[in-house]
Amino acid sequence: MSDPATRRGPEPLEEPPPFFGTWRRFYLVVAGNLLGWIVLFYLFQRWFS
């Protein structure tokens, strides 16, 4: 007999992120934001050096 506690059913679906519809878009926006800050601080450093 199979024990119901050890039986695995289908994996629960992930909830979509609160913004941008998919996790891929969400992480692309986060990575783009980080890249934008890096470029901004690089230009700031070049301007004032």
CA dihedral 26, 32, 33, 37 (to 10 degrees): 160
- Cβ pair 16, 22 in contact under 8 A: yes
Taking only the tens of pLDDT, the chain with its 49 residues reads 556 666 677 777 889 888 899 999 999 999 999 999 999 999 999 999 9
- Write out 8-37 in H/E/C secondary structure: CCCCCCCCCCCCCCCHHHHHHHHHHHHHHH
